Structure 1
Amino acid sequence: TGDGSQPAQYRIDVYTPSGTLLNSNSPGTNVPHLAVDYWRSIYAANYTPLLDTATGQPRIDPALGVAEPSLSRFDPL
């Protein structure tokens, strides 16, 4: 919604196979990628990095040298 400049303008809408809206209660959802599992849970990588539990600093992937994203799970019902 809006011009896309604010996180609250993003959300995930979930529809049934027939096209009926099932759920749209996810305001502020701004994620770069989505994945859906067999049970229709939605997983998304966040822009917020995963933090190292020992140091509280972003965890750096040793192979890629970049911060690992945190992950969110959204359940449609």
Structure 2
Amino acid sequence: MKFRATFLIGFLLVVAAVAFPSKENRSKRDVMDSVKSTWGDMTQAMSDAGDSIANAFSPTEKSALDKMVDGIKNIGQ
């Protein structure tokens, strides 16, 4: 019976220590959350920049000259 009471008190102390972290642990956690958030923002910005560069070199819209050539081809058909 004494062992159970000792185990219960020890378990409660561990739960209390985990539930109320120290300020140092809390600040480390906040820094890591900031780093993760910044990394996600950076990867999204790089992805957007890559998409912009790809669109600059391969535009999806036809140029005026290509439209005129297509129009002339359609007249002959």
Under TM normalisation by the shorter chain, which class is it?
A: under 0.3
Work out which of the two has the higher radius of gyration on C-alpha atoms and give 1 or 2: 2
